[in-house]
Amino acid sequence: MSDSADLPKAEEEEEVTQDLQDQSDDSSEDEEAAGTEMDFLRNLFSSALGLGSAEKVLDALTLEGVAQYIKSGKCKNIICMVGAGISTSAGIPDFRSPETGLYANLQKYDLPYPEAIFQVDYFKEHPEPFFALAKELYPGQFKPTICHYFIQMLKDKGILRRCYTQNIDTLERVAGLEKDDLIEAHGTFYTSHCVSFCCRKEYSLEWMKEKIFSDAIPKCEKCKSLVKPDIVFFGESLPARFFTCMKMDFPRCDLLIVMGTSLQVQPFAGLVGRVSKSCPRLLINMEKAGEADPMLGMLGFGGGMDFDSDKAYRDVAHISTCDDGCLALAELLGWKAELEALVKQEHAQIDSKNKKEQPGEAGGSKDSSASVKPEE
């Protein structure tokens, strides 16, 4: 392995960002689209011609096989890809679940269609529905789940390369991950900016929180334009850091763990095909996701997941809630007691902090169904 593979993440980002700083977000997205097409063609021709290696790393395509691989010490650059499913046990709804999902419960906002609440043009004309929803889901009202703390444990043990999240609830940060550990692909509530291109003044999480909970539409103190949290709406570009880090991280990945996502939204979903052919991929989800097109999968083409075919050699599906899956994996790794103690300790600290900040109130972070019960 070259020396560049051992560079700290921050130094690698700085080098790549310096090289790419003159490129616009549009060019990044154009490159990504072209790169995805090229990856598909490479996979197509290499599979057809029998080129490239597809080394089998796991002894068994089971959760036990994944645990054994981690325990072998060969696993040093784990990437986690996570979606709304890792936060549902904290009380935050996902987007697409029938009846309970976010899109299924937006009738009260009188939208022309559910997705309008996250569209830039609609937001600029009618910001009220978004901020009403933001008040319900605002960061600070929820506790991280077992799954969030499992990811933090991977970092503590020195084997987490990075966590790529579709979530905007900031619970990864609350659980202990820092900016360098995270790619918030769909943005974050952590910062906000004025929507005016001539201004773009930045505002903090606390500033935005004060506006939202006083039922005021956040307006820029400098130019009086709307202020929007830095989450990615439909019609907006993904953060440039998503593209720069993606090119560094996935070629180095030696285990990809995908949790709580339907893998339906591009370009995030396409990341599963960017790891090497030998890299094992574990899905922890309530249903299988990210599978290759059946016809192409039979031919071994494309980068989608292959759990069941005769050609399957690296993809593992563990069908359960994200919390249960992480607990099961932690138990196989011998980390379960440590994980449960971490969750209990961190939730107690959050409760204590909330009591100090809100004296005499019964409020605070909402209890997560992921809280660990004391051992009998």
pLDDT on residue 189: 83
DSSP annotation string for 18-45: HHHTTS-HHHHHHHHHHHHHHHHHHHHH
The reply to whether 104 and 154 lie within a common domain is no
Position 344 pLDDT exceeds 50: yes
The reply to whether 200 and 289 lie within a common domain is no
Q: Which two tokens stand for residue 87?
A: 């936060």
- Count of structural domains within the chain: 2
Strands 187-194, 227-231: parallel, antiparallel or unpaired by DSSP?
A: antiparallel
Q: Would residue 160 count as lying in a domain?
A: yes
The reply to whether 113 and 151 lie within a common domain is no
Position 152 pLDDT exceeds 60: yes
The reply to whether 85 and 101 lie within a common domain is no
Q: Would residue 375 count as lying in a domain?
A: no
Q: Would residue 321 count as lying in a domain?
A: yes
The CATH number covering residue 225 comes to: 3.30.1600.10
312 is in an annotated binding site: no
Tell me which of 277 and 376 has the higher pLDDT: 277
168 is in an annotated binding site: yes
Q: Which of these ranges, 64-78, 86-100, 144-158, 242-256, has the smallest mean pLDDT?
A: 86-100
Q: What is the rounded distance in angstroms from the CA atom of residue 292 to the CA atom of residue 273?
A: 10
The one-letter amino acid code at 317 reads A
Position 292 pLDDT exceeds 50: yes
Residue at a domain's end among 176, 209, 231: 231
Position 97 pLDDT exceeds 90: no
pLDDT on residue 95: 58
Position 181 pLDDT exceeds 50: yes
pLDDT on residue 117: 82
pLDDT on residue 115: 79
Tell me which of 139 and 271 has the higher pLDDT: 271
pLDDT class of 39 with cuts at 50, 70, 90: low
Q: What is the rounded distance in angstroms from the CA atom of residue 356 to the CA atom of residue 376?
A: 30
Q: Would residue 19 count as lying in a domain?
A: no
- DSSP, collapsed to helix, strand or coil, labels residue 56 as coil
The reply to whether 207 and 306 lie within a common domain is no
Residue at a domain's end among 231, 266, 289: 231
pLDDT on residue 363: 41
The CATH number covering residue 273 comes to: 3.40.50.1220
pLDDT on residue 265: 84
Element (H, E) at 363: none
85 is in an annotated binding site: yes
Q: Would residue 372 count as lying in a domain?
A: no
pLDDT on residue 303: 64
Q: Which two tokens stand for residue 256?
A: 């990809």
Q: Would residue 29 count as lying in a domain?
A: no
86 is in an annotated binding site: yes
DSSP E strands in the chain: the ranges are 78-82, 160-165, 182-184, 187-194, 202-204, 227-231, 255-259, 281-285, 315-319
Q: Would residue 117 count as lying in a domain?
A: yes
The reply to whether 208 and 301 lie within a common domain is no
Beta-bridged to residue 316, according to DSSP, are 282
- Give me the domain span that covers residue 182: 55-89+144-186+240-350
Q: Would residue 14 count as lying in a domain?
A: no
Beta-bridged to residue 230, according to DSSP, are 188
The reply to whether 248 and 180 lie within a common domain is yes
Position 371 pLDDT exceeds 70: no
pTM, two decimals, is 0.77
Position 38 pLDDT exceeds 70: no
Tell me which of 71 and 122 has the higher pLDDT: 71
322 is in an annotated binding site: yes
261 is in an annotated binding site: yes
CB 294 within 8 A of CB 118: no
285 is in an annotated binding site: yes
pLDDT on residue 168: 86
pLDDT class of 190 with cuts at 50, 70, 90: confident
DSSP annotation string for 257-311: EEES----STTTGGGGGGS-TT--EEEEESS--SBPPHHHHHHT-SSSB-SSSTT
**Mean pLDDT of all residues in 171-193:** 92
Which of the residues are catalytic? 186
The reply to whether 337 and 325 lie within a common domain is yes
The reply to whether 213 and 266 lie within a common domain is no
The reply to whether 167 and 265 lie within a common domain is yes
The reply to whether 167 and 103 lie within a common domain is no
94 is in an annotated binding site: yes
The reply to whether 274 and 322 lie within a common domain is yes
Q: What is the rounded distance in angstroms from the CA atom of residue 108 to the CA atom of residue 129?
A: 9
